[in-house]
Structure 1
């Protein structure tokens, strides 16, 4: 450790407590000269950096290869040798978000331009045909309401125009103008409900303003950028189910929360590593050997993510292997279903809010 001259004044500069030694017994402030040399600042910075790196790499090593070791060490009181759980999660989440933002997926701009022109041309032709047919029907329409095969004609040919309603119900490729026209003029029995109309309109706006490639690119980008946020929101629920499945007197919700932070930090870290590996290998995917390596790495990474929860649960809660396997399997299944539901809702929200 670097040496600093102790102040002659024995009054702590931080809390005004009388200091007999180098550190204040009341607040821990160092009672040394506040004016430091450049040499001292450099040495102090180096010591802090070395300590952080040691703690960081020790934390990462235990997180990846020793399930539940970090949680047990933290709850036993050994905390200075590792990064704090909240800091660890925020750090990994930040790095994940940053690197995904730096290395987004890209699609060739010329391909997108050609695809967009083709899509617009097709939609315009389709809409013009519909308008032409609709106008011809309206010219021959009388004041009386005729029924054809049990379907009333409100300006639409029942055999052709009403098929367009079904097309929209099946998320077809028609234009937003056609959707509004159908919703306005179609028979009441064939009109979409308010929610269906709102939902399909949102989808149609996205499709009108983007090509298929752009939709995929924007969706993946938005989804991956916000995945850490979804996981962060889900963590309290994960800890709650752990609390439900275990002894309430022996384990507090706080204990389950620390376990959850470490587990989700592990998931994000593996996700980040797989992302970086796939990005690094993507320029060489034409090689069958590199493709094979990529598949093997992804298989091992995803397999370890799935299996990791069982040994972590068994080692932390100290139950028999059979009990731990049953509980961890149930917990994994329940949380997997909940994650799918949350991600599906989030995916739908992401899609309808694309621009």
Structure 2
């Protein structure tokens, strides 16, 4: 019985010592934070001259208490002017790094400091949220828009036979056939999406006009035999070919120098055979029977760009205006604490700021090229799902 009592007293003593050490450590950390804050304030509140240059009032800080002018050092170098402009307009100074560090190393500390009235020592919560949201949504929608366009190409590339892709990845395949193909650059991108790293070496493209027009391509015979289908030459491409064949001599050189005609389109037109009546003799091909309408593809790309444009414009506003609702829910969940609504609002801002900073971590593996393309085949890696 005495041994049990002795053990309980020993445990209580150990727990008391641990609590005491934690309290001392907390006090040391708080003193260190306070010391850094006072040093930063001291550094920012010592003007370079004694009296205000505007109204002549004696200065007691970096701002004149009479007219409000900032005590600017007119003899400082340009980079300091630029730094002060960024600090005054965007509030992006050394405080943001200290604020972000404390946000992750001491959760809840910034909220308590703001509620205690220490507002100017750190970046204002709402200003910090706006800064992080602008950076996050700008980068996110830039990457997402690019990946969405890749997804359209990836869907088309899935129609290509896997055996063809495997043979192109081997070193034995050579570009030994020349044909005229519609949307030749899109065909090269499709094979690149399927993992053919040397697609640019296997496919030599000479475009007649834009990316949807006819292209003179050198490619492996296996691709020409298995992926291409004969189609009808469009009248606009025939007119372009006939016009390019008529231009010769010094006039042609002038057009090339003035960049009205490219050597690429000229080479593509020269290989095309027409008779004396202007009738096409060379067969032309396409590689997407179900998606040969260029207007349809342009509509899809336009829809995606408009969709991501509207999403990038309205999503930050929706999230910002949902913050008061989130704070109201917090107040309802913790109503027994009887804290003011603004305290919950500041806490909601800090929570959403942390969320915007942390959410790129699971998005990075999802938006990488290999993982992103594998998801269309139903082969999403397990580590991506776990993250």
Higher relative contact order (CA closer than 8 Å, sequence separation 6+): 1
Answer 1 or 2: which has greater strand percent.
2
Higher CA-based Rg: 2
The interval holding the TM-score normalised by the smaller chain is 0.3 to 0.5
TM-score by length of 1: 0.42
TM-score by length of 2: 0.39
Answer 1 or 2: which has greater helix percent.
1
